[in-house]
Each structure stands twice: as C-alpha cells, then as structure tokens.
Amino acid sequence: MWMRKNSETSPSGRTRAGLGLGAVAALALVLAPVFVPQANARDGNYEHSSAASVSGYMKPCFGMLLDAQLRTCGPRHYKGGSRYGYHGRGQADATVDCDRANPRYVEEVVGRIRSGGVLYLKAKNRSCVATLDIKKSITIVGQGYGPQQIPVLVAPAGESAIRISPSADHVILKDMFISAPRSQGMAGVEASNTELTLQNTLVRYQGDNAAVHLSGGRLNMTENTHLIAKTRSVALAVNNASLFAENSQIATTSGGIYGVLNGDSQMQGVSVQQLADWHGFERGEGATGIEIKLDSGGSILSMNDMKVLYFSKGVSIEGAGEALLSHTLIARSDQGIVLGLNRARIIENTIIANEIGIDIQDGTAFVGRNQIANIRTAGILASSTGEVRAVDNQIDPNGEGCPSLKWGSIEPSQRVCTPWYRGSEFDVPGDADDQFMFDEFWPRMTVATIDGAAAPGPVPYNQLDKTKP
C-alpha cells in the first residue's frame, strides 16, 4: 500500500523543517521589541521599566541571505559594470572609463556632476557612445592612450555628440577626440547662448550640418584644435556670437567658416582648407573658405597669419563693421578676397587667385604691400560703390593675359591684369620702428639711459606726489 512519507521522520523533511523553523526564529528575533534596562536610583538594581522601554523595530536586512548584487541594505559600491568609475553623487569631479562603463552611463554622470566640476573620459579600447546634454558649466577632459588614439566620445547615429543649453554659462572641452560619423542633419557639437572653449580638441564629423555650431555667446578655439568635416554646408557655424580662434585647423568638403559676428572677434594662426579628395566635386563648387558678416558698425574683426586654401572664394567679409586681414596666404582660389563692409585694411598678404585678387564691392578698402599672382581679370577691382586706397602692391598676372577672358559681367575695358600701381596713399601699420601690433606689444618695466644704466620705469599712479602741479 502506498503511504505518504512523514516529513518529521524523513531526513530531507527534517532538514527542510529545521531550516523553516530556523528562518522563522531568526525573523522573530529580528522583529521582536527591544527593551533597554534602566538603573533604579533607589536600590541600585536594574529593572524593566515601561517608560524606559523602546518599542521600535529594527529594519530587517533581507539581503543578508542573497547574493551581493541583490542586497537591499548596507552601502552600495559600484566596482564595475555600468557604473564603473563614478566617484559619487553631486561631486565636483568624476571619471568614466569607457572601456568598462555602460555606453550610456556617461549621460547620467553629466547630469549628476555639480556646476564647475570636471569630467574625465578615459578610452583605450572602446569609446563612450552617447549624446551629452550639458546644462551646467563644466569641463570635460579626454584621456586617450597611445599614438593611435580612439575617440573618447562617439555620437549615436542621427544625433549630436554634445548639446549645450543656455543654462551652462561656460563649457570647456579639453584634449577631446569627438567623432560624429552619421549625424545626418544634426551638428556634431551644438551650443546656444553660452561660451564654448575647444582646447586641443579634435572633432571629426560626417553629416549635412556643421561640425561645430554655436548660436549666441562666444566660441574660443585654442591650442591646436582641429575640425574635420565631411559636410554639405560648413565646418564651423557661428551665429550672433563672437569668435576667438588661434593655432587651429579646419578641413572640409564644402565651406569652411560661416559667421554672423557681433562685437569684436579675432582669428590668428588658423588654417582653413578644402579637402583634396573632394576638390572639384559639385558639393564644394563655389564654396567659401571664410565667410563673415559683421552685424554692427562697432564690430571689428582682426585676422592675422591665416591660411585659406583651395576654395572658390578665399575670404568674404561684409556688413557694417571694420576688418583687418594681414600676413595671410590665400591660394588656389578664383577670387581671393571679396569685401563689402564699411572699412577694411588688407595688409601684406599673399594672394594666388585665378580671376580677381581683391574685389571691393562696397565700402572703403586700404590695400597695401600685398603680393597678388596668377590673376587673369584684375589684381584689385572696385565696383561703383567701392573705394580703393592702395600702396606698394605687387601684381603678377597670368601669362595668358586678360583680353581673351570672358568672366562674368566685367566689361572688356576693365579686364586689365595690372590695374593698380605703386605709390603712397596711406600709412601701412608697422612702418615706424617703434610701432607694434597688439599681439606683439608688452610694456617695458625699465627704461635704458644714455650711459647704459637701467632707469626705473613709470611710477605707479598711487605713488605720485599729488601736491605738485
């Protein structure tokens, strides 16, 4: 006859029953009231007083019997996986190791970091794939490894790599290698009404927009920053903002820099070129290397020691302000410089253009000591609304000459290869020995006397004897 086994006599039953009773007993001990003995002042003995008893319950730690990953009490330690590298909530600094972190975890860290903090992105074998929405003033520092560095940040398909909101007053991207390989209509780095600094940063972009797009605020590009853009528009777009760039390079399949600038802006030591393997394609036909519009009469744009290579138009400047372009090489263009603003000074540049070296369409241009070569239409050309004052320009025309050329709407009588002369109509900056450019001038602390001894420099204002007339 079949008989049911008695759980009390079965070894396995005893084990299960024992475990069940043990767990219940442990739970009862955990949930039991805790009484605290208190000393009786009268007889010195301890007694259980209802007033001294504590009727609270200790919160059970059910995670004690579980694996470490499933514990629900005690301190949490992230030693790997999706949260590797973060040093806490709301800290000033944080580090994310892209080799070990969840690709999207860096977005969470950016949201937690305090304003003014520094985020370090480390990448050796794997990049962080994310779009960073920055709403605070922070600094992001990239830490790549080896000569063949990989991007520390890669934008997801159809997205920007970095978006900066107006609530972030100042964002610094330092030592960053950013890649946006399939951004389509989105910019690689996009910012609005903020100050953005790119310091020794490389942005490699493929899409229909700009590699870097700033609308409002100020953009600083320093310390060998590179923008490489396979785009249908421009590599760098700056709208209603100021631009300060130095010692940086831009390479593009179409336009280089487009800017609607307010206030004063400056570019020095910046190279802009159209990529050789895309030169001649319809996408880059008619593209301009640097196209600037100054939106106020008080704006001054200063450009010095530049290189603009392989564009249909090298530099185009128009608007209501003033501009200085000096010590710049513009080569392999149809039109070297096109001007249409209140006043421009074009000083000591080398321009190699197929058609026109300097075209003044509006305003007054002071043109001096430029070397213009290979032109077939005009070295310096002014329209009916443009005025030219020139001195000591050297113009070397193309050997084919101008009479056989049919270019645009220029009358045959104006097709003169050397339309200007050598003379003295205005002073060129730097003629005198004691003149310095702004970036070259530093006040001297001592003044040499006739006998060679060093005399003290100017006396500070707060040390002057104000009783003397």
- Residue 92's pLDDT is 76
Tell me the per-residue pLDDT of 227-254, one tens digit each, with 9 for 90 and over: 999 999 999 999 999 999 999 999 999 9
pTM over 0.85: no
Ranking 116-130, 178-192, 435-449, 454-468 by mean pLDDT, the lowest is: 454-468
Indicate the Cα dihedral angle 189, 190, 196, 197, nearest 10°: 10
- Residue 380's pLDDT is 87
- Residue 101's pLDDT is 86
- Give the whole-angstrom CA distance, residue 460 versus residue 466: 12
Ranking 95-109, 302-316, 378-392, 447-461 by mean pLDDT, the lowest is: 447-461
CA angle 243, 352, 416 (to 5 degrees): 120
Ranking 51-60, 125-134, 387-396 by mean pLDDT, the lowest is: 51-60
User: Do 54 and 35 meet the contact criterion of CB atoms below 8 Å apart?
Assistant: yes
Mean local confidence (pLDDT), 244-269: 95
- Give the whole-angstrom CA distance, residue 315 versus residue 295: 17
- Residue 386's pLDDT is 85
User: Do 153 and 122 meet the contact criterion of CB atoms below 8 Å apart?
Assistant: no
Q: How many CA atoms lie within 13 A of 225 on its CB side?
A: 27
Query: How far is C-alpha 437 from the geometric centre of its chain's CA atoms?
Result: 28
pLDDT band at 52 (very low <50, low <70, confident <90, very high): very low
pLDDT band at 91 (very low <50, low <70, confident <90, very high): low
pLDDT band at 385 (very low <50, low <70, confident <90, very high): confident
pLDDT surpassing 80 at residue 469? no
Ranking 71-80, 328-337, 402-411 by mean pLDDT, the lowest is: 71-80
pLDDT band at 396 (very low <50, low <70, confident <90, very high): confident
- Give the whole-angstrom CA distance, residue 102 versus residue 90: 19
Mean local confidence (pLDDT), 116-125: 93
Read off the tokens for 90: 């709301």
Ranking 113-122, 141-150, 394-403, 426-435 by mean pLDDT, the lowest is: 426-435
Mean local confidence (pLDDT), 381-390: 85
